[in-house]
Amino acid sequence: MTAGREILEKLWKPGCDFFGVKVALLGGAMTWVSNHKLVSAISNAGGFGVIACGSMTPDLLRSEIRATQKLTSKPFGVNLITMHPNLEELIDVCGEMKIGHVVLAGGLPGSPFITRLKDYGCKVIGFAPALIIAKKLQKMGIDALIIEGSEAGGHIGPVSTSVLAQEILPQVKDLPVFVAGGIGRGEAIVTYLKMGAAGCQLGTRFVCATESPAHPNFKKSFIKAQARDAVTSLQLDPRFPVIPVRALANAATDKFMKVQGEVIARYDSGEIPLKEAQLMIEHFWAGSLRKAVIDGDIENGSLMAGQSVGMVTTEQTTQEIIDELLGQAVDFLDQSLARQHLLA
């Protein structure tokens, strides 16, 4: 074992201990992508896979957990959306299926939900897009935090990963904090670990894993893309709020802008009420991610991707991806040590 490998293991030991894994890397929960095949592959490779529950029913989630358990004996978790109408039932499924870690996403979770999960013996992880929310989640009894910057794919906040890390990591010392958004190489992982992170979360990097269920067309679009191709959706009118989504620019991206304009015009003319207009805009992407990921329609579907997509250059097994990240991290640490000796 090199000195760099020893340092890496010490740096992310808090994250490894928290999840009970050898590699403190979480798989970002990506709807239609993070299913039992990819999740089990990440866990079997030493990381921590996370099922994307998304809009699943409790029965579907139960089936997905069972399918994952058949493929791995290693720890894995479940990502639940706080706005899901059946959140309590989904929590009960996680408790019933003995899930050890649950990630609550999509908004600030209510204290009763955190308490319900902890009563089942679950460790609860929440997203903190700002220091004030990190502090609030701590008071609510959260067990760990994920800070995700605007470089990430899918729904994003307004602040970059590097700024969030500088703002939050020095201020939160009492629980593990995992950094996410725009991470595609081992050197970046080491940088955040040195700043105090317990580990990192990666999503985009795993889309083109061999075990990923994404359609070949979807994977090809990632392999061809550059960082600049992953753009955020825009909001035309403040009366019709749009949660920014980062995805590869395509025909659907342009159509979304057109649809917003048409819906706003219908509202301004008195044809439809405000609430209906807002829902029409909000529901535009419903099913479009599935259209791209599962059906392979890369023009009319949503190609949600983080800016690290430019570092996705080929399809690899999940084990190869994690081994590559580890190799980069260890080499970076070994080279840093060598430079220190030269300067000494």
Buried b / exposed e over 276-312, threshold 16 CB at 10 Å, is ebbebbeebbeebbebbbeebbbeebbbbbbbbbbbb
268 shares its domain with 285: yes
Question: Residues 325, 185: contact at Cβ < 8 Å?
Answer: yes
57 shares its domain with 79: yes
Question: Residues 127, 105: contact at Cβ < 8 Å?
Answer: yes
Structure confidence at residue 146 (pLDDT): 98
pLDDT, averaged across the chain: 94
CA distance 217 to 45: 25
Q: What would the two tokens of residue 272 be?
A: 């439809």
Q: Where does the pLDDT of residue 126 fall: very low under 50, low under 70, confident under 90, or very high at 90 and above? A: very high
The helix (H) or strand (E) run that includes residue 245 is: strand 245-248
pLDDT tens digit string along 212-266? 999 999 999 999 999 999 999 888 888 877 778 899 999 988 888 888 889 889 9
The closest alpha carbon to 195, from 219, 212, 178, 220, belongs to: 178
160 shares its domain with 141: yes
Structure confidence at residue 286 (pLDDT): 65
DSSP-derived secondary structure letter, 47? S
Within a domain: residue 219?
no
Structure confidence at residue 43 (pLDDT): 98
Percentage of residues of the chain with pLDDT beyond 70: 99
The closest alpha carbon to 101, from 144, 56, 53, 155, belongs to: 144
249 shares its domain with 273: yes
pLDDT tens digit string along 20-59? 999 999 999 999 999 999 999 999 999 999 999 998 999 9
Structure confidence at residue 217 (pLDDT): 98
CA distance 134 to 100: 22
297 shares its domain with 158: no
119 shares its domain with 43: yes
181 shares its domain with 230: no
71 shares its domain with 145: yes
133 shares its domain with 97: yes
- How many secondary structure helices (H) and strands (E) does the chain include? 14, 11
26 shares its domain with 156: yes
Q: Does the pLDDT of residue 307 top 90, yes or no?
A: yes
CA distance 204 to 311: 9
Within a domain: residue 84?
yes
195 shares its domain with 271: no
Within a domain: residue 20?
yes
Within a domain: residue 344?
no
Q: In 3-state terms, what secondary structure has residue 84?
A: coil
Within a domain: residue 65?
yes
Q: Does the pLDDT of residue 120 top 70, yes or no?
A: yes
Query: Going by DSSP bridges, is the β-strand pair 230-232/245-248 parallel, antiparallel, or unpaired?
Result: antiparallel
Within a domain: residue 279?
yes
* Number of domains comprising the chain: 2
Percentage of residues of the chain with pLDDT beyond 90: 80
The span from the first CA to the last CA of the chain, in angstroms, equals: 23
pLDDT tens digit string along 183-213? 999 999 999 999 999 999 999 999 999 999 9
Within a domain: residue 172?
yes
Residue 91, domain CATH: 3.20.20.70
pLDDT tens digit string along 154-189? 989 889 999 999 999 999 989 999 999 999 999 999
Point out the least confidently predicted range of 10-14, 120-124, 187-191, 338-342: 338-342
Within a domain: residue 343?
no
Whether pTM > 0.85 for this model: the answer is yes
267 shares its domain with 333: no
Parent domain of 319? 3-214+312-337
Q: What would the two tokens of residue 263 be?
A: 């819906």
